Every structure is written in structure tokens, then in C-alpha cells.
Structure 1
Amino acid sequence: MNPWIAIGALALVGLLIPLGMMTVSSLLRPSVPEKGKTTVYESGEVPTGGTRIRFNIQYYMVALLFVVFDIETVLIFPWTVIYREAVSMEGVGLAGALYPMLAFIGILVVGLGWAWRQGAVEWVKNPTESQRSVDRQ
């Protein structure tokens, strides 16, 4: 028996079960539209103020940079473990083992430099500089 048949059958079952459950639940559930179901839920409290609030996007920028450099660590660690064996292998040599990782780290350093220049790693921005950039536009 071809192993791809088993993989295809598993993928088909993995798709059919959730789709079937959603279809059955949509057919069986009651549909009672009312005003209370469309209101904003604020932990049982009556919401005050507008729903559009301004927040600092810097939290997301720092989190994104953390994820990028965390993945870098995850990719560099196994490379350091096998580096000595890769250099001693026939046909790989020092250049074949070192240059790809140096290129990878170089791309990340260029990306960090770009993010730094764009101000993505500055937590507190100077209000006078931001006002100057608004005035320039």
C-alpha cells in the first residue's frame, strides 16, 4: 500500500470532521436574533467611551523583533552543534559550513540596523522630533 494514500486519507478525515461538525451545529442551533447579542461585552459592565482607542504600536514592534531574533537563536544553535562535524566532512569544508551562516547573520544585522534607523527599537520617542516630522509633511 502506498503511504501517500494513508496521508491523503488522514488529511481528508482531518478536514471532513471539523466541517461536518460545523455543518451539523449550524443546522441544529436555534437562531434567535436579539439586540443583546450584538452589543459589545465588557465583562458584564456597560461600556463607556468609544471603541476606537489609540495604543502604542511600539509593543507590537518590539514583540516582532523579539520573535525574529528568537527564531535566529533557534536556527543558530543547531548549526553550532554540528559545525565541527560539518567542517571535517568531505566536500563541505570551512567555507561550505561557515559562509551560509555568516550570510544569515549578516542579513539579520542589516535588518536590525534598518529597524534601528526607522526607530522601531526606540521605546520613548521625543515629542519635538515627532512634531517636526509632522510639520515637514
Structure 2
Amino acid sequence: MTLSTTIVGYLLLFGGVGMGFVLFNIVLGMFLRPNNPSEEKQEIYECGEPTIGSSFVQFDLRFYVVALLFIIFDVEVAFFFPWAVVFGKSAQLSDPSAPVVNESVENGVTLAPAVIGLHREFGLPESLNDEVAAGTVSTNTVRDGARSLLWTCLADIGVFFAVLLMGFAYVWKRGDLDWVRAITEATRAGPESAVRSTTARRQQAAQSR
């Protein structure tokens, strides 16, 4: 069985067990939980408090904008996990103090178990282990390849951070991180401009009434 087939099998097993667990609890809850609907239970509530007034209220758009920006920059953290795994394993494989092969009288030259595990996790062919053990591929070649992957990981995370900081600087420059954007822009222009802007908004509000 190849490595890719094993991974697919594990994923299918994980998904099947997860879906089965969810469906089992849903069906079990249908038989065990009490079903006593009432008028009070079906009322709309907000944080346990009874609603007051109409639910059709115009919320400030800043809540949505700030939440959207938070999600955009927060989701980027998920990309650190696969990068950290590859970076850590590359550093472990390129460590000159870590043995690549083990030599013994009984078994001869064999690949170290840790190196075999790292090769398997990287998806390298099994024939590479035999070539390293036979001396066809030197241990320095293995370490050089891992070191190249290590520098590639550093370059990737550098580009990732550069793009992320450019996006952060862009939204900061636009004033999207300011809670009250109009007043903030007027304040930057000067106190007199802020007063004129506030007065103009009050006049527009009075005229609209």
C-alpha cells in the first residue's frame, strides 16, 4: 500500500467516524430529549433578555467592517501550522548532529528510524531510503536537500508576511481601522475643519427632519 493510499484511507476513516458520531448523537437526542414547546420558548430573545422594539434596526456599518477585517487577518494564522510543520521537520533533517544512518555488525548500514519517518512524512519514495543505506546517495545530499527546503520555507514566510503587512498598511491608510472614519479624517485636517464638518452634518440632519 502506497503512502498516498494510506493517507486517503485515514482521511476517509476520520470523516466516516466523525459523521457517524454526529448522526448517532442527533438520532439519540431525538429519542431522549423532552419535547415540550410553549409560547415562551418560541419567543425571540437576545442574550437571555426579552426583545424591546422592532428588530429591523439599522446597525452601524463599522461593526461589520471591523469584524470582516478581523476575520481576514485572523484566518491567516491557520496558514502558519503547515508551514511550521514543514519548517520544523526540515530543520530536524538538516541538523548535522542528527545521524542519518546507523551502522551495526548485524544489520550493516541502515537508515535511522527518525530519518525514515521524516522521508515518509515528506512523501519521498521508499527507494531513496535504500539508496542512502547503500551509499548511492550520500548523507550530505540528504542534508543539503533538507537545508534547501529550510531556506525555501523562510523565503515563503517572508513573502507571506510582506503581503500581509501591505494589506494591513493599506486598510490603515484608508482609515478602515478608525471607528468613526469621517470625524477622524476631519480631525487630521485640523480642528477648524473638524468643527466645520460637524456643523455641516448637523445642518444636514436638521434639514432632513
Report TM bin, short chain.
0.5 to 0.7
Unaligned runs of 5+ in 1: 132-137
- 2 CA distance for matches of 1:94 and 1:24? 50
Q: Give identity over the alignment, percent.
A: 23
| Preserved contact between residue 178 and residue 184 of structure 2 (Cα < 8 Å) | no
Unaligned runs of 5+ in 2: 96-142, 186-196, 198-209
| Preserved contact between residue 40 and residue 47 of structure 1 (Cα < 8 Å) | yes
Q: Secondary structure at the match of 1:19?
A: helix
Cα deviation per residue 1:53-74 (whole Å; 9 max; x = unaligned)? 41432541553366267x39x6
Which residue does 2:160 correspond to in 1? 104
Q: 2:179 aligns with which of 118, 123, 133?
A: 123
Which residue does 1:67 correspond to in 2? 74
- 1 CA distance for matches of 2:33 and 2:180? 50
| Preserved contact between residue 61 and residue 120 of structure 1 (Cα < 8 Å) | no
- 1 CA distance for matches of 2:161 and 2:14? 39
The one-letter amino acid paired with 2:160 is F
* Higher CA-based Rg: 2
| Preserved contact between residue 171 and residue 177 of structure 2 (Cα < 8 Å) | yes
- 1 CA distance for matches of 2:152 and 2:66? 39
Q: Note the 1:49-68 alignment, pairs <5 A.
A: 49-53=53-57, 54-55=59-60, 56-57=62-63, 58-61=65-68, 63-64=70-71, 67=74
The one-letter amino acid paired with 1:26 is M
Note the C-alpha offset of 1:105: 2.4
1:118–1:68: structure 2 CA closer, same or farther, 3 Å change rule? Answer: farther
Q: Cα RMSD over matched residues?
A: 4.7
TM-score (norm 2): 0.40
Which residue does 2:24 correspond to in 1? 20
1:50–1:127: structure 2 CA closer, same or farther, 3 Å change rule? Answer: farther
Q: Secondary structure at the match of 1:35?
A: coil
Q: Does residue 90 of structure 2 align to residue 90 of structure 1?
A: no
Note the C-alpha offset of 1:93: 9.2
Cα deviation per residue 1:24-80 (whole Å; 9 max; x = unaligned)? 2224444444322211235665421223441432541553366267x39x67xx67x
TM-score (norm 1): 0.54
Whichever structure has more strand as a proportion of its residues is 2
1:12–1:95: structure 2 CA closer, same or farther, 3 Å change rule? Answer: closer
1:28–1:118: structure 2 CA closer, same or farther, 3 Å change rule? Answer: same
